[in-house]
Each structure stands twice: as structure tokens, then as C-alpha cells.
Amino acid sequence: MNRTEEEEIELQQLVSVVIPCYNHARFLGEAIESVLTQTYPRVEIIVVDDGSTDHTANVAALYPAVRYVHQANQGLAAARNTGLRASLGHILIFLDADDRLTPETAEHGVHHLLNSPESALVSGRYRYIREDGTILNEYSQEPTAPDPYAAFLRGNYVGMHGTVAYRRSALEAEGGFNTALRACEDYDLYLRLARRYPISMHNHLVAEYRQHGNNMSRDPRLMLKTILTVLHSNRQYARTNASYRAAYRAGITAWREHYSREFFEQIRRHWTDRQIGQAVSLTLNWIRYAPHQFVGYTFWNAVGLAVRGVYRVLPLSVRRLLVKRQDGSHILPKGKVRS
């Protein structure tokens, strides 16, 4: 259908906020309301129910302004693509159902994309919130490097998808999100877009990232496996110049080190709780995806345990010499002392 010039101008000014939801009905209302309170006047809301078994449909029905789309469960990437197809705006924001936007999110996105007409996307800052919605702390976003593609190879400096405003034309040209990925489909898209388009950033706080027990990012097996898959898909292109090769290698190492900390903490927690099967499964995946980091963590923690073991059997007089207060006075060590 051919649009009139006036209709096309209206669509160019429209921001589409797509909210994919899978069994997050308890948070969905807050996500929707954060969009309804936008200072920018031309916003549409599309909720994509990805086969939820909770009351997602009932929550969406409470808001007449919401366009509700239901599909069989296909995963987050497919739900976002469904929202892209259902939307009309020339600028898109994808908000996870457990997160929130700040009131000026759409306004900042429109302003910066209009002033940077070649950019495929613009991202801003975010803060962490607790499960009950209270504020935890703000994330300090690092400024992007002169070459955004190299910056993305080194790591995902955007950090939270809700901070991003996309230009529709660039999204559609890249074919949307990769449905073969179970996670990190946003990171994959950033890399693909950064190879072809300028990428922008602004310094405004535009989103709130909720921390709770079901965050996908807390699964080190899924996250590290998928991130390495995304980076490996860029290996050939990264070989085209020395800067990209260095960034690619640095990114592989950085991601392995980042998730090694999560592997270690979860294994220790499972072991303490006597959940041996989970601890063994995590250990095997850690060895598979970050073998050098596993060896490093194992070695240095073994050294630490050995040092603590030696300390415990030292005579009290020696232990007192090793442990002092800042003012130089001795602290009586805790624990049993062998005489």
C-alpha cells in the first residue's frame, strides 16, 4: 500500500517500543507504564507474548494503548523480529518485559538519530534495580572507541539492550535478530551493524535493568558459549586488519575471564550446598569453554587454600606477628591454634 507524504512523515516521527515477554507477567505492567510515561508524544507499544504460560495476556489487556501479539514459544530473537514486523515506527526500542525505560528515553533516541542521520543505532546509560524496583546502582558506560566495531569485538560496551534506539532501515537491511542464537542476539546485531554503519552514543540515563534470579546473564554456560559463537562468526572479517585481530583476541580473553568468575562462584555455591551434579556440570563446561582460565583459577585458589592451611597450624606467637591492625597493634587470630 502506497503511503501519502504526510503519512510517511508521521511514521518517521513514530517510535515503536517492542516488549517481548515470556512468563514475566509480574513485571510486564511496570515495563508498559514506563513507556506510557514517555515525554516524547509519538510512541506505539507492541507486546509480543512468546508463548507464555502465565497471565501475560491479561496484563497486556489492561492497557488499551498496547498492541498485543501472541506466538508459539520461539525464543527472544524471534519475538523481537515479530515485534519488528508488527511495528510501524522508523525508530525502534526493544525493552525486555522485566526492565523499565526512563521518561525521556524515546526523546533522546529520536534527537540523537535525527542529528546523526547515518547512524544505525544510538545507545545511552542505564542503572541496575532490584527485583522490587528499587534502585541498586548506576552502570558506568565506557565511551566508545573511534572504531565501534573494534570496541564491540573487545566487549559489549552497550551493556543493556533497552538503552538502544535503532533506525528501522538498518535493522531491516541486516535481517533483524539471529534466531539461531539462544542469547546474545543483541550483541551479534551490534557487531553486524558496526561493520556497515556508524554507531552513536549519548550520555543520558535511559533504562533500568532489573536484577532477579531468572536473569539469562546469570547462566555462564549459555552466555559464554553463545558469546564465543558470536565472536567466532566475526573471525574472518576481523582478520582483515591488525587492529581488528588484536581486538578479537582481547575480546575472547576478556569474555572468558568475565564468565570464569561466575563459573567459580556458582561451582563453589553448589559444592557448599552439596549439589554435586550441578557443580560437576558447571566445571566440565568451564573446562570446555575457558580451559586456560579454569587452570589459572584452580591453581591460584589451590595456592590460597594451602597458604590458609599453613597459617592455621602456625603457633600463636607467629600468627600474631603476621596479623596486625593498621595502628600496628596485634589482632588475636580467630580459630583453633595448635600448641
Residues 126-166 have pLDDT tens digits of: 999 999 999 988 876 665 668 999 999 999 999 999 999 99
Bridge-partner residues for 200, per DSSP? 122
Q: What is the pLDDT of residue 315?
A: 72
Number of H helices, E strands in the chain: 14, 9
pLDDT of residue 316: 72
pLDDT at 126: 96
19 torsion bin: left (phi>0), alpha (psi -120 to 50), beta (else): beta
Cα distance between residue 263 and residue 249, in whole Å: 21
| The CATH fold of domain 11-217 | Spore Coat Polysaccharide Biosynthesis Protein SpsA; Chain A (3.90.550)
Percent of the chain at pLDDT above 70?
82
What does DSSP assign to residue 174? T
272 residue type, one letter: T
Instruction: Report CA torsion sign: 189, 11, 44, 126.
Output: positive
pLDDT at site 333: 41
The DSSP call for residue 212 is -
What is the residue-wise DSSP string for 267-297?
HHHHHHTT-HHHHHHHHHHHHHH-HHHHHHH
3-state percent helix, strand, coil for the chain, nearest multiple of 5: 50, 15, 35
For residues 16 and 35, give the distance between their C-alpha atoms in angstroms, rounded to a whole number.
Answer: 10
Q: Which pTM does this prediction carry?
A: 0.84
Exposed e or buried b per residue across 143-165, where buried means at least 16 C-beta atoms within 10 angstroms of its C-beta: ebeeebbbbbbbbbbbbbbbbbb
Q: What is the pLDDT of residue 212?
A: 87
Q: What is the pLDDT along the chain (339 residues), one digit of tens a residue?
A: 566 656 555 566 899 999 999 999 999 999 999 999 999 999 999 999 999 999 999 999 999 999 999 999 999 999 999 999 999 999 999 999 999 999 999 999 999 999 999 999 999 999 999 999 999 888 766 656 689 999 999 999 999 999 999 999 999 999 999 999 999 999 999 999 999 999 999 999 999 999 987 666 678 999 999 999 999 999 999 999 999 999 999 999 999 999 998 988 898 888 888 899 998 999 999 999 999 888 887 776 655 555 565 556 667 766 666 665 444 444 444 444 433
- Distance, CA of 11 to CA of 71 (rounded, Å): 25
pLDDT of residue 250: 95
* 75: alpha, beta or left? (left if phi > 0; alpha if psi -120 to 50): left
181 closest CA partner among 169, 194, 172, 190: 190
Residue 332 backbone class (left: φ over 0; alpha: ψ -120 to 50; beta: rest): beta
DSSP string, 118-156: T-SEEEEEEEEE-TTS-EEEE--PPPPPSSHHHHHHH--
DSSP code for 324: B
| The pLDDT of residue 268 | 86
- Quote the pLDDT of residue 321: 64
- C-alpha to C-alpha distance for 172 and 196, rounded to whole angstroms: 13
pLDDT score at 264: 87
Domain ranges of the chain: 11-217, 235-310
